[in-house]
Structure 1
Amino acid sequence: MPVSQRPGGRSTRVRAAVLTAARGLLADGYAELTVERIAQAAGVNKTSVYRRWTDLEGVLGDLLSEYASEVVPIPDTGDLGTDLEELALLVRVGMTGEPGELITALATSAPRNRRAAQIVRGFFAERFRLAEAVVDHAIARGELPQGTDAGAAIEIIGAPFFLRLLVVNEPIDEEFARRAAAATTAALHAGVFDPK
């Protein structure tokens, strides 16, 4: 009679311990984060970490994938300006918490690490695709013309957040998020993203 495997075996425990350790160490900053420090904090051998994740970016990518799997509440209040403002406030929460730390860490590695670049691109491609629904809903309501470029509009609302997070290191507060939304709303109503 075959022996059934216990759910939540060693592999699950190692993964949980490593991700918990990485999360805790990341709170102290990315600069000193290494696979060795994560393994030590997790109480596992570093070869276990390398075998499962290959490198530091693999561990961070696994953390980021947990955020990617969370349901994103896409605003649909019936008003484009309100929806974009709520969306911008959601982006702000993500950029100022642990996901922001992960994004910064992976984006910093992206120029020299193809895997980190793929993780960041994949994460944002999916998030941006979901957020396009805000513009699509406005088109369906007749608030914007058919063919409005939803993807470009969402890129424009997101760009200022990345500038502050990755380049100028300025605070991302609620007022900033509201201004980004207002600017994108004005551009959409001015026809900047209308079909050509």
Structure 2
Amino acid sequence: MEEPGSIRPGGRTARVRAAVLRAAGDALAEHGFARLDLTDVARRAEVGKTTVYRRWGTVTGLVADLLTDMAEQSLPRARTGSLEGDLRANARLVRRTLTDPRQGALFHAIIAAAACDARTAAALHRFYDTRIREWAPCVEEAIDRGELPKGTDAHEVVRAVSAPLYYRMLASGDPLDEASADRAAKAAVLAARAGAYVKAG
């Protein structure tokens, strides 16, 4: 079953969707999930509230569509010709996103909501699955070039790049600078070359 608002529309419907999702992102970044209100989103987007309620139905339905849109709009993966170059580009993209005043606040709000709302958690998991699948081929290409052992789990390598960056944002509060992004990428490359992510069996 499709999540509310998840059908890709065209024309005026596309413009309404874009306006509503932009308004929802602004409201989330400003006030968090707990204060997200469909009527307020409709007001911000300058559309009728019945339109918002009819298309998205619930706050979680709206957040799910927002995450779908964010995944679709994210930059495509880098192609630098080397695994470390590709993963460094990935780490720097994650770092820029998490430190952006709007995007960082938006992710904080969504991650907090996902901790206590199953539908938001499912939408967040789909978002990250989309992004990991976008970047996994850079690891698969490195395996084909002989840079990594056969059987390396490409998805685990990509996850290993971003995990330390999210830890800094959500748990430790340590600086989330470019050096930490580059270090996360290098650590993932070294571990992958050592066989740490080869699938068991």
How does the TM-score come out when normalised to structure 1? 0.81
Residue matched to 1:20? 22
Residue matched to 2:88? 85
Q: Is the 8 A contact 1:92 1:177 kept in 2?
A: yes
Q: Residue 51 and residue 146 in structure 1: after superposition, are their counterparts in 2 closer, same or farther (change >3 A)? A: same
Structure 2 residue aligned with 1:70, among 48, 73, 78?
A: 73
Q: Is the 8 A contact 2:87 2:158 kept in 1?
A: no
Residue matched to 2:167? 163
d(CA) in 2 for partners of 1:142, 1:16: 43
SS in 1 for 2:73: coil
Aligned length: 189
1:45 positional shift:
4.3
Q: How does 1:2-151 map to 2 (within 5 A)?
A: 8-9=11-12, 11-30=13-32, 32-70=35-73, 72-97=75-100, 98-151=102-155
1:127 positional shift:
0.9
Letter in 2 for 1:66: D
1:144 positional shift:
1.1
d(CA) in 2 for partners of 1:13, 1:149: 40
What is the root-mean-square deviation in Å for CA atoms of aligned residues? 2.5
Q: Residue 56 and residue 172 in structure 1: after superposition, are their counterparts in 2 closer, same or farther (change >3 A)? A: farther
Q: Residue 15 and residue 130 in structure 1: after superposition, are their counterparts in 2 closer, same or farther (change >3 A)? A: closer
d(CA) in 1 for partners of 2:99, 2:60: 20
- Larger C-alpha radius of gyration, 1 or 2? 1
Structure 2 residue aligned with 1:152, among 126, 151, 156?
A: 156
**Structure 1 residue ranges without an equivalent (≥5):** 1-6
SS in 2 for 1:28: helix
**Structure 2 residue ranges without an equivalent (≥5):** 1-9
1:12 positional shift:
4.5
d(CA) in 2 for partners of 1:12, 1:184: 39
Q: Percent identity?
A: 40
Q: Is the 8 A contact 1:77 1:83 kept in 2?
A: yes
d(CA) in 2 for partners of 1:192, 1:35: 46
Q: Is the 8 A contact 1:17 1:42 kept in 2?
A: yes
d(CA) in 1 for partners of 2:118, 2:53: 17
SS in 2 for 1:74: coil
Q: More helix by proportion, 1 or 2?
A: 2
Q: Residue 37 and residue 191 in structure 1: after superposition, are their counterparts in 2 closer, same or farther (change >3 A)? A: same
SS in 2 for 1:69: helix
d(CA) in 1 for partners of 2:191, 2:123: 30
Structure 2 residue aligned with 1:188, among 186, 192, 201?
A: 192
